């Protein structure tokens, strides 16, 4: 098999949570363009229909499952939908994350309810998704968790989110050991990707703010959903068959935190 063929996902079946828009939609479309059929899931049906249309436009099959991954049994529904529609489940991407409250808080200001919400959305949902996937995957399965650069360092005013994403990175490392050699598990940690949710959290001031953020990045630009999708396709493909338990930071070379900048996925 040639190098270019190692990046193909032909005949494989994937689930991508939080794939209605933004990074999740980019990942779902990237997997489809590499050859995979995809189960897409989010809370808004209108977004899911748009994502599914893009997948079908790439020549692959799409299955829509509307709902919230925090709902009991939802991850099992997603895994079962993949097996029912495609006959197997090969790739699972835990992309759901962020916050329903777009206000930021120091940890001393963080309420117990907000803390629990952030852990549930950004860590527990990934655990439940990985468990549902692992129980149904055959040998050669792949689980990819979407964390954040915030989980790799101190993160003032978004500490609950960052703690959950740090937990996701450790979750990945533990699952990689426990599920080896049958299933590979890796993390992708995006840097600043100006999605709708990112803009809401930062209350961005427009193009000047975006340019300033880009200028502070060694590669002098912000990320795109396609940048993250490319990393996911690599980790999902045979090209990464000897990679597990790793965290791939995709952030334009930027590792430090500047001001109150934070990516919510």
pLDDT in tens, 209-240: 888 889 999 999 999 999 999 999 999 999 99
Residue 126, in any domain of the structure: yes
Q: How far apart are CA 20 and CA 28, in angstroms?
A: 9
Token pair for 126: 């990934």
CATH at residue 48: 3.40.50.720
C-beta of residue 179 within 8 angstroms of C-beta of residue 254: no
Q: What is the pLDDT of residue 24?
A: 98
Q: Mean of the per-residue pLDDT values for the chain?
A: 93
What lies within 8 Å, CB to CB, of 151 at 6+ separation is 162, 163, 164, 165, 166, 167, 168, 169, 189
pLDDT band at 262 (very low <50, low <70, confident <90, very high): very low
> Which residues share a beta bridge with 16?
40, 93
Residue 184 is inside which H or E element, if any? strand 183-190
Residue 94 has pLDDT above 70, yes or no: yes
Of 35, 107, 22, 124, nearest to 71 (Cα)?
Answer: 124
Collapsed DSSP state (helix, strand, coil) of residue 246: coil
Residue 264, in any domain of the structure: no
Residue 202 has pLDDT above 90, yes or no: no
pLDDT band at 265 (very low <50, low <70, confident <90, very high): very low
Residue 205, in any domain of the structure: yes
pLDDT digits (tens, 9 = 90+) for 115-162: 999 999 999 999 999 999 999 999 999 999 999 999 999 999 999 999
C-beta of residue 2 within 8 angstroms of C-beta of residue 229: no
Residue 199 has pLDDT above 70, yes or no: no
Residue 29, in any domain of the structure: yes
234 is catalytic: no
Count of domains observed in the chain: 1
Residue 150, in any domain of the structure: yes
The active-site residue out of 105, 161, 234, 264 is 161
> 118 is in which domain, residue-wise?
4-250
Q: Cα angle vertex 142, ends 140, 181, to 5°?
A: 50
């Amino acid at each position: 098999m040639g190098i270019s063929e190692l990046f193909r996902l032909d005949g494989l079946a994937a689930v991508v949570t939080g794939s209605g828009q933004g990074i999740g939609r980019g990942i779902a479309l990237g997997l489809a363009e590499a050859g995979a059929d995809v189960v897409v899931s989010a809370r808004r049906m209108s977004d899911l229909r748009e994502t599914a249309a893009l997948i079908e436009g790439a020549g692959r099959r799409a299955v829509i499952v509307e709902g919230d991954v925090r709902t009991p049994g939802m991850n099992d529904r997603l895994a079962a939908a993949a097996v029912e529609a495609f006959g197997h489940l090969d790739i699972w991407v835990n992309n759901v994350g962020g916050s329903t409250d777009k206000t930021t808080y120091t940890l001393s200001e963080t309420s117990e309810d907000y803390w629990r919400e952030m852990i549930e959305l950004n860590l527990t949902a990934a655990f439940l998704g990985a468990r549902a996937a692992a129980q149904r995957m055959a040998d050669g399965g792949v689980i990819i968790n979407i964390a954040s650069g915030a989980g790799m360092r101190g993160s003032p005013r978004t500490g609950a989110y960052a703690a959950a994403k740090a937990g996701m990175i450790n979750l990945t490392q533990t699952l990689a050991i426990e599920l080896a050699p049958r299933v590979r598990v890796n993390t992708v940690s995006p840097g600043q990707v100006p999605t709708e949710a990112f803009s809401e959290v930062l209350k961005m001031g427009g193009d000047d703010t975006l340019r300033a953020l880009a200028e502070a990045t060694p590669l002098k630009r912000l990320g795109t959903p396609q940048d993250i999708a490319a990393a996911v396709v690599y980790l999902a493909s045979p090209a990464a068959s000897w990679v597990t338990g790793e965290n791939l930071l995709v952030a334009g070379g930027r590792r430090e935190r500047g001001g109150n900048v934070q990516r919510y996925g």
